[in-house]
Amino acid sequence: MKKEQNCPVIVTRPEHGISRKLMNPNALRILYRLKDNGFAGYLVGGCVRDLLLGREPKDFDVVTSATPNEVKRMFRNCRLIGRRFRLAHLHYGDEIIEVATFRSQAADEPEPEQAPETKPQAAHKAEHRQRHPRSLKDNDGMVLRDNVFGTPEEDALRRDFTVNALLYNIVDFSIIDYTNGLADLNAGIIRTIGEPDVRFQEDPVRMLRAVRFAALLGFTIEKQTHAALLSAADTIVRAAPARLYEEMLKLFFSGEAARCCDLLQRTGLFAALFPHFSNWLGTESDSFPHTRFGQMLDYVDSRIQQGDKVSPPLLLALLFGEYIDEKTERFRRQGLPWQQSFDAAVAEFMGETCPTVMIMNRVGIALRDIISQQSRLNKIPGRRPDSFTARKDFNEIIEYCRITRGNRKDVAGQLAWWTAQAEQQPVTLPSGPAKDSTAPQRKKKRQRRRGKPKVQETI
């Protein structure tokens, strides 16, 4: 390992354990092609961090000295995307590898010294910059646009955390470290590059990323970074709601959702993101604390750690279902029938959540269906059981029931019946709400029905 003044730390191949065998072959192909065409090309960010930690990277990102158009000319499978950042996406079947040109964060930096310009030239340039600034911050210092090409060092310095700014050089297979990221990686520290207050102001989503990496990697957040996070937690609401939704999904699907939420709560981020839900979570209902949220986080973590997938609607139903149930009960007590109460409850939940964390409408509808269809499970065999088992979300409806009420004896019987029904196996009907448990199963003639069936039972 060597470091000269103003030079990065370089860790040579024999000094680190990253083998090319652990790398994505398409990413390697890209790096070699860039090199053969005379461009610099590095692996960067999370993949280098994870390879060094002996973890399997989620994705492989490449940075290069080639401009997006030069990348496009080199690769037939390239699509250029992005307005804020121009990026090259290289497509290999279902896989996409992102190739970005080195960027600098030159938003407020003066232009480099140039030969003196004539007045009209200077005026034209100034006007062009005003109309098409390549980088732009709002009045609060949040970066709105940032598309200035730079050097490898500048590219590393504009990244979020020191451990996310390491480069892998295909030329000599070394690791290049401009930010002291290796030392932080070895010490298990999440530290912003530069002033944490400024970096969180530029992009508040970095606070959620700090929490996710700390929880996922079992790292601690460095003292100043942590202090800045505490004082800036409320400003998380300045980030775009759609982006916050995507980031929340990453947290909940990280496999360490319980740890993430614990950190979010302790830093004030959770209350800023979900103020109403957070209030409710901190109070008791009928002298009982709300414990289901925590249990659901543990359940989702166990599924993800086993390599399973959980859909966003099921995730949200599991996490917020109890809260929505209580809202439904409140509307019921006001005299509304169940279906109307439930619809009002879901609408209220979406109305209070979406201005900050934008749950897409189609996800909201799917979440509503998973919960509202629970009452259908009580009716055995009910009308057209085959059409119920044929629903696209049948497995999610069953899973929601199993996780939230499956320990009840009557519910376990219902679940067994519906599961067997779905597998087309004849089974004995469980006792309980089923009316005709001994009658042989008869396939019912499909009937067209107008409108939605009215579900009146409570879940």
Interface residues with ligand ATP (CB under 6 A)? 45-46, 58-59, 61, 159-160, 164-165, 203, 205-206
Enter the DSSP assignment of 199: H
85/435 with CB nearer ligand ATP:
85
> In sequence order, what are the beta bridge partners of 234?
none
CA atoms within 13 A on the CB side of 171: 13
Which one from 160, 177, 184, 393 is the annotated catalytic residue? Answer: 160
Measured CA to CA, the distance from residue 242 to residue 209 in angstroms comes to 15
Q: Residue 153: name its binding partner from ligand ATP, Mg ion, none (Cβ under 5 to 8 Å by kind).
A: none
Q: How many helices (H) and strands (E) does the chain have?
A: 20, 16
Cβ at position 46, least distance to Mg ion in Å: 3
**Choices 40-48, 192-200, 271-279, 447-455; region in contact with Mg ion by CB under 5 A:** 40-48
CA atoms 284, 288, 292, 295: torsion sign? positive
Which value, to the nearest 10 degrees, does the dihedral of the CA atoms of residues 214, 45, 51, 311 take? 60
Cβ at position 260, least distance to ligand ATP in Å: 12
The answer to whether 234 is a known catalytic residue is no
Q: Tell me the C-alpha to C-alpha distance, in Å, between residue 166 and each of 101, 453, 459.
A: 16, 57, 51
In this structure, what are the phi and psi dihedrals at residue 80, rounded to the nearest 5 degrees?
A: -90, 135
* Residues 139 and 168: beta-carbon distance below 8 Å: no
Cβ at position 281, least distance to ligand ATP in Å: 26
Chain-centroid distance of CA 309 in Å reads: 13
Which one from 59, 203, 343, 369 is the annotated catalytic residue? Answer: 59
46/68 with CB nearer Mg ion:
46
User: Binding of Mg ion at residue 46 (CB under 5 A)?
Assistant: yes
The answer to whether 172 is a known catalytic residue is no
**Choices 2-10, 46-54, 292-300, 440-448; region in contact with Mg ion by CB under 5 A:** 46-54
Cβ at position 435, least distance to ligand ATP in Å: 52
User: Binding of Mg ion at residue 312 (CB under 5 A)?
Assistant: no
Measured CA to CA, the distance from residue 323 to residue 309 in angstroms comes to 24
Give how many residues touch Mg ion by CB under 5 A.
Answer: 2
Q: Residue 160: name its binding partner from ligand ATP, Mg ion, none (Cβ under 5 to 8 Å by kind).
A: ligand ATP
User: Binding of Mg ion at residue 181 (CB under 5 A)?
Assistant: no
Closest by CA position to 257, among listed 292, 304, 224, 220: 304
Cβ at position 190, least distance to ligand ATP in Å: 11
Cβ at position 65, least distance to Mg ion in Å: 21
What are the E-state strand segments in 267-319? 284-285, 288-289
> In sequence order, what are the beta bridge partners of 149?
103
The answer to whether 59 is a known catalytic residue is yes
62/324 with CB nearer ligand ATP:
62
* Residues 342 and 320: beta-carbon distance below 8 Å: no
Q: Residue 435: name its binding partner from ligand ATP, Mg ion, none (Cβ under 5 to 8 Å by kind).
A: none
Q: Residue 159: name its binding partner from Mg ion, ligand ATP, none (Cβ under 5 to 8 Å by kind).
A: ligand ATP
Q: Residue 206: name its binding partner from ligand ATP, Mg ion, none (Cβ under 5 to 8 Å by kind).
A: ligand ATP
In this structure, what are the phi and psi dihedrals at residue 318, rounded to the nearest 5 degrees?
A: -65, -45
* Residues 198 and 228: beta-carbon distance below 8 Å: no
Which one from 61, 155, 177, 301 is the annotated catalytic residue? Answer: 61
User: Binding of Mg ion at residue 59 (CB under 5 A)?
Assistant: yes
Measured CA to CA, the distance from residue 402 to residue 250 in angstroms comes to 25
Specify the DSSP element, H or E, that contains 32.
Answer: helix 25-36
159/327 with CB nearer ligand ATP:
159
User: Binding of Mg ion at residue 70 (CB under 5 A)?
Assistant: no
Which parts of this chain interact with Mg ion (CB under 5 A)?
A: 46, 59
Active site residues: 59, 61, 160
